[in-house]
Amino acid sequence: MSAVAQQTVPAPSVRIKWATAEWERAAAFALRREIFCEEQGVFAADDRDEIDEIAIALVAVAQDEIGASRVVGTVRIHEDPTELHTWWGSRLAVDQAYRGRAGGRIGSDLIRLAVSSAHGRGCRRFLANVQSQNGLLFQRLHWRSMKEFDLFGRPHHRMEADLEYYPPFDTPQVGFLSRGRG
């Protein structure tokens, strides 16, 4: 469990943005490994794959009361190399201490920046393979389920975002402060 997961109160400020520094990318990979390998057991040692070579990492960076920053959430996006203007999101991960009621909307805000920043770069269709346990969250965020299937031995939904709900966002490197509580 990370030091962040041991905290009882999330940091007061969380910025949702594209990862622009190497430490942010490294911390995003570490958080993904913690969630998908250690917590969920989806992958044995590492969740990295060929998509990471072309993907853009997005991060939720928490800054505590003394100014220390840490990545507490991440997702990656990429344009489909075989289907023009189609983008994909994957590997959404939020530190345990920043989920649910205490953490507010970090996961939702990562999704919002993922779709809106892709939309700002010409995306006409945004897709994701979502673990079934998270399907309701995505439906609330204006996504529709296209089909159900198993991926990595777990039930998933192929989902598509309603781009009308996600206006283009042109400054993802700066991002925005999360609307979450904390």
Q: What is the pLDDT of residues 77-109, one digit of tens each?
A: 999 999 999 999 999 999 998 887 545 589 999
Rounded Cα gap, residues 148 and 69, in angstroms: 38
Residue 182 is predicted with a pLDDT of: 44
pLDDT at 3 over 70: no
- Cα distance between residue 98 and residue 38, in whole Å: 17
Single-letter residue type at 76: R
Look over the chain and give the mean of its residue pLDDT values, rounded to a whole number. 90
Is 80 exceeded by the pLDDT of residue 161? yes
Confidence band of 23 (pLDDT split at 50, 70, 90):
very high
At 14, the amino acid letter reads: V
Q: Calculate ∠ Cα 92-86-129, nearest 5°.
A: 35
The length of the chain, given as a count of residues:
182
Element housing 71 (H / E): strand 69-79
- Above pLDDT 90, what percent of the chain? 75
Contact 125, 86 (CB under 8 A): yes
Q: Judge contact between 129 and 151, C-beta under 8 A.
A: yes
Residue type, 101: R
At residue 42, does pLDDT exceed 60? yes
Exposure on the CB side of residue 35, measured as CA atoms within 13 A: 22
Report which residue type is found at 112.
R
Q: Residue 124: how many CA atoms within 13 Å on its side-chain side?
A: 3
pLDDT of residue 100: 73
